[in-house]
């Protein structure tokens, strides 16, 4: 099924929601119709993108998958002599589907949003996965920030606009749904996996990707670079492969506790955060993307309610109405995410106000009917 989405900052989204009950009007010039369905786009880019152009789509989002391009992706041994920063060192067939999309999209005047995503090749993952862990869960176990940075450098070089006639890509996002155990694991660590762990892993991935994109000419002066891409719901207890509530994830990403105080002591060490005031003063400089990116991306899906009704947990299930979980970011609570990001930036003396981009969105027409 072809799915059309709107990619737009929060303010434009709210304006479009307010217009639902108003008289028909022309679409805002600040909105972009965004499409994503990787199987269709990658397998039939010419036909799919032509259809999208006819529908008025302005941008296509594609997960650029690390282990689909990397050599020996199913081996735990890194290829000898492999220069992961060099696009030519990768099998040409791995790049081919993405090259085709970029070329055809450019010809159709459709922009490309590459989400540089896992799973990782096994040789770029940690070794502590539980026995019997396979598939995505194994390939997203402690992905190496250093190896990811090298891969992003190869990607940035290839799609810089000066590589073998390939058009430039100027819209990027760093990883997908990092608060979901399917995409980064383990989500929790320590006793009972009760300490946030995935935010520290993701922080390293963001730092590495930011440096590599900048090094290959992709900066916020010329490109859009997003981070986040968080799921809207989750659990307060994280386990290994579960979902973490998005605002718990974001606070840990910025090294603060639920009271928005900078972490210290054992809690800070366990979450890869500064343990001293001096360390906190250096945090902004050491993690520039968290303060200087083009925006923060979220996926405010509604799984159990209409688009205007917030949700909360009832045991292990989502329930609609009544009250909103204070750490959820479904559609009615996107403003809460925006306020949280403002507050986190302010803790470190930053005046950045991130636009929140809803890069994925959908809702059930008969919630909670899964069909």
Write down the H helix ranges in 170-237: 198-215
Taking residues 106-111, report their average pLDDT. 96
Predicted confidence (pLDDT) at residue 122 exceeds the cutoff of 80: yes
Query: Would you say how long the chain is, in residues?
Result: 371
Contact (Cβ atoms closer than 8 angstroms) between residue 153 and residue 215: yes
Mean pLDDT of 108-123: 98
Question: Residue 304 has what pLDDT?
Answer: 83
In 3D, which of 287, 294, 181 has the Cα closest to residue 231? 181
The string of pLDDT tens digits covering residues 260-318 is: 999 999 999 999 999 999 999 999 999 999 999 999 999 999 888 888 888 898 888 88
- Give me the helix-helix angle, 198-215 and 246-253, nearest 10°: 60
- Distance, in Å, from the CA atom of 49 to the CA atom of 40, rounded to the nearest integer, reads 9
- Model pTM score: 0.91
Q: Give dist(CA 320, CA 275) in Å, integer.
A: 39
CA dihedral of 167, 106, 32, 359, whole degrees rounded to 10: -60
pLDDT of residue 306: 83
Q: Is 4-358 assigned to CATH 2.60.120?
A: no
Please report which confidence band the pLDDT of residue 217 belongs to, taking 50, 70 and 90 as the band edges.
very high
Cis bond upstream, residue 368 (ω within 30): yes
pLDDT digits (tens, 9 = 90+) for 67-87: 999 999 999 999 999 999 999
d(CA 93, CA 322): 52
pLDDT of residue 33: 79
Cβ-Cβ contacts under 8 Å for 167 (sequence gap 6 or more): 102, 103, 105, 106, 159, 161
Domains in the chain: boundaries: 4-358
For residue 30, what pLDDT is reported? 66
Angle, in degrees to the nearest 10, between helices 334-347 and 246-253: 10
Does the pLDDT at position 370 exceed 90?
no
Distance CA 31, CA 16 (A): 9
How far apart, in Å, are the Cα atoms of 95 and each of 45, 83, 278, 279? 14, 16, 44, 40
C-alpha 178/C-alpha 155 separation (Å) is 20
pLDDT at 6: 44
The single-letter DSSP state of residue 78 is P
């Amino acid at each position: 099924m072809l799915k059309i989405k709107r990619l737009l900052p929060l303010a434009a989204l709210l304006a479009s929601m307010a217009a639902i009950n108003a008289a028909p009007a022309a679409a805002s010039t600040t909105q972009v119709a965004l499409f994503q369905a990787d199987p269709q786009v990658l397998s039939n880019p010419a036909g799919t993108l032509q259809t999208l152009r006819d529908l008025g789509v302005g941008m296509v989002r594609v997960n650029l998958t690390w282990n689909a391009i990397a050599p020996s992706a199913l081996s735990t041994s890194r290829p000898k002599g492999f220069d992961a920063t060099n696009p030519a060192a990768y099998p040409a067939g791995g790049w081919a589907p993405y090259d085709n999309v970029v070329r055809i999209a450019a010809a159709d005047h459709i922009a490309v949003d590459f989400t540089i995503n896992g799973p990782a090749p096994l040789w770029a993952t940690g070794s502590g996965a539980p026995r019997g862990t396979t598939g995505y869960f194994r390939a997203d176990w402690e992905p190496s920030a250093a190896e990811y940075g090298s891969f992003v450098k190869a990607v940035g070089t290839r799609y810089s606009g000066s590589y073998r006639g390939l058009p430039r890509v100027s819209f990027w996002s760093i990883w997908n749904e990092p608060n979901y155990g399917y995409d980064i694991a383990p989500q929790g660590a320590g006793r009972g996996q009760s300490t946030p762990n995935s935010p520290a892993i993701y922080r390293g991935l963001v730092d590495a990707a930011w440096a590599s994109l900048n090094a290959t000419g992709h900066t916020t002066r010329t490109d859009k670079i997003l981070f986040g891409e968080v799921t809207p719901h989750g659990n307060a207890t994280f386990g290994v492969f579960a979902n973490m509530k998005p605002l718990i994830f974001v606070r840990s990403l910025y090294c603060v506790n639920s009271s928005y105080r900078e972490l210290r002591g054992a809690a800070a060490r366990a979450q890869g955060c500064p343990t001293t005031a001096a360390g906190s003063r250096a945090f902004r400089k050491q993690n520039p993307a968290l303060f200087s990116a083009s925006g923060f991306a979220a996926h405010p899906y509604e799984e159990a309610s209409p688009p205007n009704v917030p949700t909360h947990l009832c045991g292990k299930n989502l329930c609609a109405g009544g009250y909103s979980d204070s750490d959820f970011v479904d559609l009615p609570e996107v403003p809460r995410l925006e306020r949280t990001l403002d507050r986190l930036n302010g803790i470190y003396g930053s005046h950045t106000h991130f636009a929140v981009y809803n890069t994925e969105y959908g809702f059930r027409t008969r919630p909670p009917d899964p069909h």
